[in-house]
Amino acid sequence: MNTQHYYEDLKALARQVRAEHGLSSPRVLPTDLMRIYEKHGIVLDQWPYRFRNLRGAFINDHLGTTIMVAKGLPLDPMVFTMAHELKHFFRDRDLGISYCDQSNLNKSLEIGAEIFAAELLFPDRDLSVT
């Protein structure tokens, strides 16, 4: 799969997740994402915000899946990070752990997670004017 196909596939996945979980409102809230996390048995952990560039991390091991999000993030970055980490759950579980900081953004895995999050939260169709 080339990079373009990979990104398109992630957008399709995001639309599928929206449909499966009834995310139809224009604004997705942390509680919406918590519902998805709970359904998949993902534990959300907040840790003190002291790593400037690190917004979130994804950990999958024999104990299960934990997503860590920096505590004290404003609402929008919080929701975006939770959506970003969800992509790692669906597609990168076998990697075990992903640290998501700004310096990682050149990797297609990370860019893909940003694309997935954007599509999950702001799908194209909601931007169309009727």
The binding site for Zn ion (CB under 5 A) comprises 98, 100, 110, 113
Burial 85-111 (b: 16+ CB within 10 A, else e): bbbbbebbeeeeebbbeeeeeeeeebb
Q: Which CB, 45 or 126, lies closer to Zn ion?
A: 45
Q: Which CB, 113 or 115, lies closer to Zn ion?
A: 113
3-state helix, strand, coil in the chain (%, to 5): 55, 20, 25
Q: Shortest approach of Zn ion to residue 49 CB, angstroms?
A: 17
Tokens of 62: 């024999």
Q: Which CB, 26 or 51, lies closer to Zn ion?
A: 51
Residue nearest Zn ion, Cβ-based: 100
Q: Shortest approach of Zn ion to residue 22 CB, angstroms?
A: 25
Q: Shortest approach of Zn ion to residue 50 CB, angstroms?
A: 19
Helices (H) and strands (E) in the chain, counts: 5, 4
